[in-house]
Amino acid sequence: MSTSTVHVSTPSRSYDVLIGQGVIDETGTLTRQACGGSAACVIADDNVAPLYANAVAESLADAGYRTTLQVFPAGEKHKRLLTLSDLLEGLAAAELTRDDVVVAVGGGVTGDMGGLAAALYLRGCKVVQVPTSLLAMVDSSVGGKTAVDLEAGKNLAGAFFQPSLVIADVDCLDTLTPELFTDSCGEVIKHGVIRDEALFRRLAARPINAEGFDPQELQDVICRNVEIKRDVVDADERERGLRQILNFGHTIGHAIEAASDFSLGHGSSVAAGMCCIARASARMGWCAQDVADDIVRAVAAYGLPTDTAVDHDTLFSFATHDKKRHGSTVNVVVPTRIGEVEVKTVSLPEFRHLVDLGCGTDAA
């Protein structure tokens, strides 16, 4: 398969997203071309590091970089300020300068941690994202959102900081467990719901987590997802308007994820959140019932959760600490039809009503 290139052009930085087989082996050469500099620090968690970190570090060294490696404990529970502090101290100890580069190798947590460390260190050095999970490839590695979690909720301390390059090697997906690959599919389905009905129908008819799914078609799906994300981010880098549509399923989804103490994956939580807000939207008359039904059926076809048993008080509490809250209102993304959504600003009581309508087996 040939390598696909999606060019991202935001007001703050333009860069390429490279999607193909074996491209991780070219990290050093590609980083040299995109970033320059003399030193590179590879950041990975302790799940991914044994698989890819040393090979990436060697590739960078071969390209002339003085290379160091930092490994942190895997998991959302470690996406915290304490871990970030350790990473920043490591960058300082390695004597990186503003001309140098952080290379984040891993899933969404690593991309967030590496990206935010690069944004803060010396008020900004370059970062290359090397996503190794499907979720990171189609979503979190593109667009420049970086953050850590606080006790009050997910992604509450962060920055918009675009990478200088994204290297997405589809061969890395072979090392994912079926459960982790399936979890990532929640974000893939989301992109179809918000911007591309044809993609949604394709995903619903031929689930990409089915055994023996064609690798070329998978690369095409990843590329289309990145294009959708690119188009939105290019138009609204800092989430003042259009970019909010990417939060479809996330207001309730983040609450579900936090209520599980992050034992439920992000993609699975978003999938459940999409179904909950779709059911509520249909009951409010904001979309036809068959729109909600199509979303629920597609999510179910992947074996992802379509609802939550978390009590509504807990969901409301977590959701109203989310960054999508604005004073006494919350912005929620609701489907109008497949391929189109809109952002509605609702009061906190109105949002609680949506939770009651869409979530749980006893939802009215």
Q: Is 363 helix (H, G, I), strand (E, B) or coil?
A: coil
Check whether residue 130 and residue 235 sit in a common domain. Answer: no
Cα torsion angle, 242, 246, 248, 250, sign: negative
Q: Exactly one of 32, 79, 126, 145 is catalytic; name it.
A: 145
Token readout for 215 is: 């690798």
331 catalytic per annotation: no
Check whether residue 162 and residue 276 sit in a common domain. Answer: no
Q: Exactly one of 32, 229, 283, 324 is catalytic; name it.
A: 229
- Going by C-alpha positions, the residue among 99, 103, 100 that lies closest to residue 115 is 103
321 in a structural domain = yes
Check whether residue 144 and residue 193 sit in a common domain. Answer: no
324 catalytic per annotation: no
CA 44-50-53 angle, to 5 degrees, is 45
Q: Exactly one of 250, 279, 324, 352 is catalytic; name it.
A: 250
Tell me: is residue 146 an annotated ligand-binding position.
no
Check whether residue 107 and residue 189 sit in a common domain. Answer: no
On whether the pTM is more than 0.95, the answer is no
Tell me: is residue 62 an annotated ligand-binding position.
no
Please compute the mean of the pLDDT values over residues 198-211 and round it to a whole number. 97
Domain end among 175, 206, 221: 175
327 in a structural domain = yes
Residues in Cβ contact with 141 at an 8 Å cutoff, skipping those fewer than 6 apart: 17, 111, 129, 131, 163, 166, 168
107 in a structural domain = yes
When pLDDT is cut at 50, 70 and 90, the band that residue 322 belongs to is low
Q: How far apart are CA 329 and CA 364, in angstroms?
A: 23
Residue 364's pLDDT is what?
39
Adjacency order of strands within the sheet including 165-169: 4-9, 14-20, 165-169, 126-131, 101-106, 39-45, 66-72
Domain CATH number, residue 87: 3.40.50.1970
Residue 323's pLDDT is what?
60
Share the mean pLDDT of the chain: 95
Question: Are residues 152 and 254 in contact, defined by beta-carbon separation less than 8 angstroms?
Answer: no
Token readout for 135 is: 């979720």
257 catalytic per annotation: no
202 in a structural domain = yes
Question: Are residues 297 and 271 in contact, defined by beta-carbon separation less than 8 angstroms?
Answer: no
Check whether residue 165 and residue 200 sit in a common domain. Answer: no
Check whether residue 142 and residue 189 sit in a common domain. Answer: no
Domain end among 140, 175, 210: 175
Residue 153's pLDDT is what?
81
When pLDDT is cut at 50, 70 and 90, the band that residue 192 belongs to is very high
- Going by C-alpha positions, the residue among 75, 125, 128 that lies closest to residue 105 is 128
Check whether residue 139 and residue 211 sit in a common domain. Answer: no
312 catalytic per annotation: no
Please compute the mean of the pLDDT values over residues 224-234 and round it to a whole number. 98
When pLDDT is cut at 50, 70 and 90, the band that residue 221 belongs to is very high
Domain count, the chain: 2
Residues in Cβ contact with 43 at an 8 Å cutoff, skipping those fewer than 6 apart: 70, 71, 72, 87, 102, 103, 104, 105, 106, 110, 113, 114, 117
Tell me: is residue 187 an annotated ligand-binding position.
yes
pLDDT tens digits for range 323-352: 666 778 999 999 999 999 999 999 999 999
Question: Could you tell me where the DSSP H helices lie in 94-147?
Answer: 108-120, 134-135
Check whether residue 28 and residue 161 sit in a common domain. Answer: yes
Q: Exactly one of 76, 227, 237, 239 is catalytic; name it.
A: 239
Token readout for 204 is: 């619903």
126 catalytic per annotation: no
pLDDT tens digits for range 109-139: 999 999 999 999 999 999 999 999 999 999 9
Q: Exactly one of 123, 151, 211, 240 is catalytic; name it.
A: 123
When pLDDT is cut at 50, 70 and 90, the band that residue 361 belongs to is low
Residue 321's pLDDT is what?
78
Query: What share of the chain has pLDDT > 90, as a percent?
Result: 93
pLDDT tens digits for range 35-56: 999 999 999 999 999 999 999 9
Other C-beta atoms lying within 10 Å of the C-beta of residue 36: 12
Tell me: is residue 109 an annotated ligand-binding position.
yes
79 catalytic per annotation: no
Residue 362's pLDDT is what?
42
Token readout for 268 is: 């699975």
pLDDT tens digits for range 74-100: 999 999 999 999 999 999 999 999 999
Residue 324's pLDDT is what?
64
Residue 154's pLDDT is what?
85
238 catalytic per annotation: no
> From the CA atom positions of the chain, what is the Rg in Å?
20
Tell me: is residue 330 an annotated ligand-binding position.
no
254 catalytic per annotation: yes
Query: What share of the chain has pLDDT > 70, as a percent?
Result: 98
Q: Exactly one of 126, 230, 254, 283 is catalytic; name it.
A: 254
Check whether residue 168 and residue 214 sit in a common domain. Answer: no
When pLDDT is cut at 50, 70 and 90, the band that residue 363 belongs to is very low
Q: Exactly one of 266, 279, 283, 352 is catalytic; name it.
A: 266
Tell me: is residue 145 an annotated ligand-binding position.
yes
Tell me: is residue 133 an annotated ligand-binding position.
yes
Check whether residue 51 and residue 99 sit in a common domain. Answer: yes
Query: Which contiguous run of DSSP H or E holds residue 276?
Result: helix 266-284
Residues in Cβ contact with 146 at an 8 Å cutoff, skipping those fewer than 6 apart: 111, 112, 113, 115, 116, 118, 119, 158, 159, 160, 161
Domain end among 175, 198, 231: 175
Tell me: is residue 142 an annotated ligand-binding position.
no
Please compute the mean of the pLDDT values over residues 250-257 and round it to a whole number. 95
Tell me: is residue 78 an annotated ligand-binding position.
no
Q: Which domain holds residue 242?
A: 178-358
Q: Exactly one of 247, 257, 283, 323 is catalytic; name it.
A: 247
Tell me: is residue 266 an annotated ligand-binding position.
yes
Check whether residue 125 and residue 89 sit in a common domain. Answer: yes
Domain CATH number, residue 191: 1.20.1090.10
364 in a structural domain = no
117 in a structural domain = yes
